[in-house]
Amino acid sequence: MEHDRRRFLQALGVTGATVMAGCADEPAGDAPSLLGRGISPYGERSPFEQAARRLPDTTTLEEASSRTPLQDLDGMITPSSLHFERHHAGVPRIDPAQHELLIHGLVERPLVFTVTELRRLPSISRIYFLECSGNSSSMWRPAPQPSVQAGHGLTSCSNWIGVPLSVLLGEVGVRPEGRWFIAEGADACRMSRSIPIEKAWDDALVAYGQNGEALRPEQGYPIRLLLPGWEGNTSVKWLRRIKVVDQPVMARDETSKYTDLMPDGRARQFTFLMEPKSLITRPSAGRMLTAPGFHEISGIAWSGSGIIARVEVSVDGGATWTDATLQEPVLPKAHTRFTLPWRWDGSERVIASRCTDGTGHVQPTREALVAARGLNSNYHCHAIQAWRITADGRVVDAVA
Amino acid sequence: MEHDRRRFLQALGVTGATVMAGCADEPAGDAPSLLGRGISPYGERSPFEQAARRLPDTTTLEEASSRTPLQDLDGMITPSSLHFERHHAGVPRIDPAQHELLIHGLVERPLVFTVTELRRLPSISRIYFLECSGNSSSMWRPAPQPSVQAGHGLTSCSNWIGVPLSVLLGEVGVRPEGRWFIAEGADACRMSRSIPIEKAWDDALVAYGQNGEALRPEQGYPIRLLLPGWEGNTSVKWLRRIKVVDQPVMARDETSKYTDLMPDGRARQFTFLMEPKSLITRPSAGRMLTAPGFHEISGIAWSGSGIIARVEVSVDGGATWTDATLQEPVLPKAHTRFTLPWRWDGSERVIASRCTDGTGHVQPTREALVAARGLNSNYHCHAIQAWRITADGRVVDAVA
């Protein structure tokens, strides 16, 4: 029997790959003949898999973050072990039996909830992305990045489960003058943000579940706020207190950080919404295309305003665009995986993706975004992002 | 400030819970004042979380299985570390660089694919359940089970990513007489199943991704067959060979097992489709309701035929039924999470769920299923399953 890989590879336009010819009725691969290991209570990944959150070279606990290895991932769900991190005082060790959530302030009946009580209440399960508003900040400089992870890895997507904040606020009874609430974490710095009360009536959750199991410690165990589609910092982790107030409190983390300095010296504040954005994750910087021919282009797109309606891909530096396939399910405020078949001709190419959300908002070019917001900002860069593929197959950041 | 939990708990009908009154502006819970631990490359769960796959008291490697702790999980995605296992020769350790997939038999061009080649090809990302057809087999006896995990934990749901088998078969060119294919695993027993070729043209995948990252070893790393909606055993793990044939080969695992002995002594064979099924996972056997009052009822439903259209819940042993809420997204051939608010009055209750899929197929009672199929079977029990809540709050299996 002939094992003819040549015709297959030719059909895909691959011309430089090794072709093996064989005459066996068996594949040449690993073929264990001994019993393998047994079952296990809590599984681990293969020792051949080494994808890891990228840690900065230098960091302090107060400014710590790690980034999701988007170039190594497929599909729409981020493994909890690889969800990006951003901590302002490290990851506290919290005994859920000792943890409580206080809701007070401008309410009729201040209440304290244990975690067990929260888990008895009506629950919601949804798939949502979470993105740090500082993601892609290197595009403001701009500074070319060695990988999609390094430049854009502060976004992840999970199945979140929890009790609607509206249920809890319904129980405490918000007074008419209660227009905002302050969410405070139980980390040592008591990370706090001021949130308009409308978000609570809309889709805010007090989440205790992530991808089926309990929240991971670095994601706020045992409970966190989850504000779908809003900048990640507002989804306060290790949530211990919600105080209903009449105006924002101008907490440290919404004044010293998480504001956007405009060209005229004034700052945009409370820029909660994460705008439509997309990334090509494969191929992406740091990888090689070993030969011309077929290579699937794959990436993720998301919008804080709802669903992704369209993703276009350019393989000629933005001159022309082709619609990518959106992988199902396409969900509001969730990563949507897109794919496009592509045959690389071996010439230098700049590839990029551009998404449009359900409101018609189109991801802008970097030039358009800079024209509107200047270059003083650290946050909310959702510009079109591009990779350069050199003629020898290397993939590098195309940002100037 | 008064921390009045009494009115909240009363509003929920909870009458026996301890009420704490306090006058502080702070919750009483954990409040670390020291920096926590830093970021990490690959996260782990909290040491306070101990959910584990249930291992049988005695097992051999050849008959090994473990079960998903459904009573501990929320939402629709099963963490990969807790996906049920069923192995026939243990978990082989396979180096992906050494693994190949051979496709041959009644084809025009036999081909061998490396894992790297498969990952370059057009991909599909979908969320699908996987259920062992031996799940819930104790309901055939019937034998009351100590937990939903013990009785029904051979079902899980993941985001699977891979190349459509139709793409690969298109490349090899199936001959007109090729009506079935044999899928063979690389485990030491070369677990094999015969599959009608139509499934390949429909939605079969050669999967390499699970919940974002690479397949876990116990799920077939580096590649597995994935036949959405079909009995789990057919989704052959550690896939190494697909041979196109003209008829089933009557492999060991489709004759000695995975057939359904009927009352007349004949066996149903090739019963691939997993029929509509639902389970209440909370409350469920082994748990306690500590007090009357509000308790959310939550569970999962799925069907190999497509979407779940409806889940009804009874809290009076099947006399009356109420529609549960289906949590979004509701996806074809995936677990759908359902929830129903419920106020337990403290009396003995039998609670059960009944689902209907998009084809109109309604989950049957055990009596109806036994009337049709007898009591000789080990497989394909999708009967309505019920829990008894005793007056002291214990939850036990209601099967006779």
Q: Which among B29, B91, B123 has CB closest to A98?
A: B29
Is the Cβ of A274 closer than 8 Å to some Cβ of chain B? Answer: no
Question: Residue B51 has which token pair?
Answer: 């959910």
Question: Residue B211 has which token pair?
Answer: 């919940």
- Indicate the residue type of B226: L
Residue A277, helix vs strand vs coil: strand
Question: Residue B85 has which token pair?
Answer: 């296992």
* ipTM here: 0.94
Half-sphere exposure of residue B153: CA atoms within 13 angstroms, side-chain side: 30
Sign of CA dihedral B371, B375, B377, B382: positive
Torsion of the alpha carbons at B216, A91, A228 and A322, rounded to the nearest 10: -50
User: Going by C-beta distance under 8 Å and a sequence separation of 6 or more, which residues neighbour residue B136?
Assistant: B151, B152, B154, B277, B381, B382, B383, B385
Sign of CA dihedral A160, A166, A169, A174: positive
Is the Cβ of B66 closer than 8 Å to some Cβ of chain A? Answer: yes
Domain(s) labelled CATH 3.90.420.10 in chain A stretch across 80-268
Is the Cβ of B281 closer than 8 Å to some Cβ of chain A? Answer: no
CA distance B41 to chain A (A): 4
Residue B339, helix vs strand vs coil: strand
Cα–Cα nearest to B342, from B280, B277, B278: B280
Fold of the domain spanning B80-141+154-268: Sulfite Oxidase; Chain A, domain 2 (3.90.420)
Cβ atoms of A3 and B106 within 8 Å: the answer is no
Domain(s) labelled CATH 2.60.40.650 in chain A stretch across 277-397
Q: Tens digit of pLDDT for each residue in B32-74?
A: 788 899 999 999 999 999 999 987 766 677 778 999 999 999 9
Domain(s) labelled CATH 3.90.420.10 in chain B stretch across 80-141+154-268
Spatial distance between the Cα atoms of A98 and A325, rounded to a whole number of angstroms? 48
Concatenate the DSSP letters of all residues of A258-271 into one string.
S-EE-TTS-EE---
Phi–psi pair at B137, nearest 5 degrees: -65, -25
Question: Residue B257 has which token pair?
Answer: 């097992």
What pLDDT is attached to residue A57? Answer: 65
Q: Which CATH architecture has domain A80-268?
A: Alpha-Beta Complex (3.90)
Cβ atoms of A352 and A340 within 8 Å: the answer is no
Could you tell me which CATH class the domain A277-397 is placed in? mainly beta
Residue B311's H or E segment, with its range, is strand B308-314
Is the Cβ of B192 closer than 8 Å to some Cβ of chain A? Answer: no
Strands A124-131 and A155-164: antiparallel
- Give me the residues of A, 295-324, that contact B with CB < 8 A: 295-296, 298
What is the edge-to-edge ordering of all strands in the sheet holding B277-282?
B277-282, B297-302, B336-340, B325-326
* Burial class of A167 by CB neighbour count within 10 A (0 to 12, 13 to 18, 19+): middle
| Chain B nearest-CA residue for A89 | B35
Q: What is the largest CA-CA distance in chain B?
A: 81
* Cis peptide leading into residue A222 (ω within 30°): yes
* pLDDT tens track, chain B, 400 positions: 334 444 444 555 443 333 344 445 677 666 778 889 999 999 999 999 999 998 776 667 777 899 999 999 999 999 999 999 999 999 999 999 999 999 999 999 999 999 999 999 999 999 999 999 999 999 998 899 999 999 999 999 999 999 999 999 999 999 999 999 999 999 999 999 999 999 999 999 999 999 999 999 999 999 999 999 999 999 999 999 999 999 999 999 898 889 999 999 999 999 999 999 999 999 999 999 999 999 999 999 999 999 999 999 999 999 999 999 999 999 999 999 999 999 999 999 999 999 999 999 999 999 999 999 999 999 999 999 999 999 999 999 998 7
Place of tokens 């509509």: B276
Is the Cβ of B78 closer than 8 Å to some Cβ of chain A? Answer: yes
Predicted model pTM: 0.94
Sign of CA dihedral A244, A245, A247, A253: negative
| Chain A nearest-CA residue for B29 | A99
Place of tokens 């050669």: B206
- Indicate the residue type of B148: V
Alpha helix stretches (DSSP H) within B5-135: 5-11, 115-120
Spatial distance between the Cα atoms of B82 and A231, rounded to a whole number of angstroms? 31
- Indicate the residue type of A129: F
| Chain B nearest-CA residue for A185 | B31
Place of tokens 């090899």: B172
Residue B369, helix vs strand vs coil: helix
Cβ atoms of B333 and B303 within 8 Å: the answer is yes
pLDDT at A25 over 80: no
Q: Which among B91, B109, B328 has CB closest to A37?
A: B91
Q: Tens digit of pLDDT for each residue in A121-168?
A: 999 999 999 999 999 999 998 899 999 999 999 999 999 999 999 999
Distances (CA, A) of A277 to A336, A355, B80: 11, 6, 28
